[in-house]
């Protein structure tokens, strides 16, 4: 008998309300002349439209039947993919702030994800998919393991870039309207960029490509692609499992920190990499302990604060 997922209307409406609230917040900058209002509304609508498209594209209809799984996009039902349950190696169940999330893994990569927040019959789907037998999956030592970015993180970087460009549009629109930039718009532009530009730079900083091969780790920065760092895995003194509480998202993020001489040398975040589990497995350094820290302290350690835990 086929079991098909059913969306939870309450969870979907909650997400839409967040989108609309964020859009209204951006439109508060539209006070001014007609030209400024027009530019603000157009740019805000563009950002909202892109965000809604990405959100709708990620919604999936999942059907489980005869040890097989059909996954199709809710907004593009002709995009389908079929899996056999035997293809999956294991599964992970995570507790979030307001939901439970179930992941099916194939070679360490989270291939199918279910959330109790979005699926009304989450418990039934979880029971049907939990028949996957846990396997001892490993990493082929004869080939390199490369990191894979999460699409959601790349979308966040793109959205941050649009927001920064939106800030640039504030003085530009004022200049085209009046032939000069008024002081209040210059101040607004500076405040806007001081808030969002560091967020964009941090998002780019988090985008690093990792390659693990024959006991070595290569780290290539996407912010400075010419900058490449090479480490032997025995260079690190120990590893830490880190859970970061972010009061703004009300979610927990998991990371693997590699430490040398009391300083954070390499950080690999689960929120950035789709194959986080296989990267952690390929590195092969068992975390000495798992700690829970705030987002502010995480930034301090990234800036060079000595780890004394």
* Three-state SS annotation for 21-86: HHHHHHHHHHCCCHHHHHHHHHHHHHHHHHHHHHHHHHCEEEEEECCEEEEEECCCCCCEEEEEHH
User: 249: pLDDT confidence band, cut at 50, 70 and 90?
Assistant: very low
Residue 252's pLDDT is 52
Q: Are strands 238-246 and 289-294 parallel, antiparallel or unpaired?
A: parallel
Contacts of the segment 252-259: beta carbons below 8 A, 24+ positions apart: 252/96, 252/97, 256/280, 256/283, 256/287, 257/301, 257/307, 258/231, 258/283, 258/285, 259/307
Percent of the chain with pLDDT over 90: 10
User: 250: pLDDT confidence band, cut at 50, 70 and 90?
Assistant: very low
pLDDT in tens, 264-283: 999 998 888 888 888 888 88
Higher pLDDT, 36 or 197: 197
Closest of 44, 5, 264 to residue 169, by C-alpha? 44
Q: Does residue 248 carry a pLDDT above 50?
A: no
SS3 279: helix
SS3 6: coil
Q: Does residue 246 carry a pLDDT above 60?
A: no
pLDDT in tens, 194-228: 777 777 777 777 788 898 888 889 898 877 777 78
SS3 271: coil
For residues 254 and 240, the answer to whether their CB atoms sit within 8 Å is: no
pLDDT in tens, 47-80: 677 777 777 777 889 999 888 899 998 888 888 8
Task: Give the side-chain half-sphere CA count within 13 A for 306.
Answer: 3
Find the angle CA(122)-CA(124)-CA(126) to the nearest 5 degrees: 65
Gap between the terminal Cα atoms of the chain: 52
List of domains in the chain = 207-302 (2.30.29)
């Amino acid at each position: 008998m086929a079991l098909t997922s059913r969306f939870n209307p309450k969870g979907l409406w909650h997400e839409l309300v967040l989108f609309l609230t964020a859009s209204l917040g951006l439109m508060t900058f539209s006070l001014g002349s007609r030209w400024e209002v027009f530019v603000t509304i157009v740019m805000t609508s563009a950002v909202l439209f892109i965000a809604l498209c990405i959100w709708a594209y990620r919604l999936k209809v999942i059907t489980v039947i005869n040890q097989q799984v059909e996954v199709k996009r809710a907004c593009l039902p002709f995009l389908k993919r079929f899996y056999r349950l035997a293809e999956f190696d294991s599964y992970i169940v995570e507790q979030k702030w307001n939901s439970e999330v179930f992941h099916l893994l194939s070679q360490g990569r989270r291939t199918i994800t279910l959330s109790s927040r979005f699926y009304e019959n989450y418990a039934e789907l979880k029971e049907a998919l939990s028949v996957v037998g846990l396997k001892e999956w490993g990493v082929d030592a004869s080939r390199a393991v490369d990191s894979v970015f999460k699409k959601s993180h790349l979308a966040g970087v793109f959205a941050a870039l649009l927001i920064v460009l939106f800030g640039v549009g504030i003085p530009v629109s004022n200049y085209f309207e009046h032939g000069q930039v008024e002081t209040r718009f210059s101040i607004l532009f500076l405040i806007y960029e001081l808030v969002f530009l560091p967020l964009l730079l941090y998002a780019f900083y988090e985008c690093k490509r990792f390659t693990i091969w024959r006991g070595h780790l290569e780290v290539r920065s996407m912010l400075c692609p010419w900058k490449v760092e090479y480490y032997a895995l025995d260079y690190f003194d120990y590893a830490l499992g880190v859970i970061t509480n972010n009061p703004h998202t009300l979610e927990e993020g998991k990371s693997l920190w590699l430490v040398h001489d009391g300083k954070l040398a390499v950080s690999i975040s689960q929120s950035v990499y789709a194959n986080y589990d296989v990267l952690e497995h390929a590195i092969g350094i068992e975390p000495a302990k798992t700690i829970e820290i705030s987002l502010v302290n995480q930034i301090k350690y990234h800036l060079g604060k000595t780890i004394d835990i």
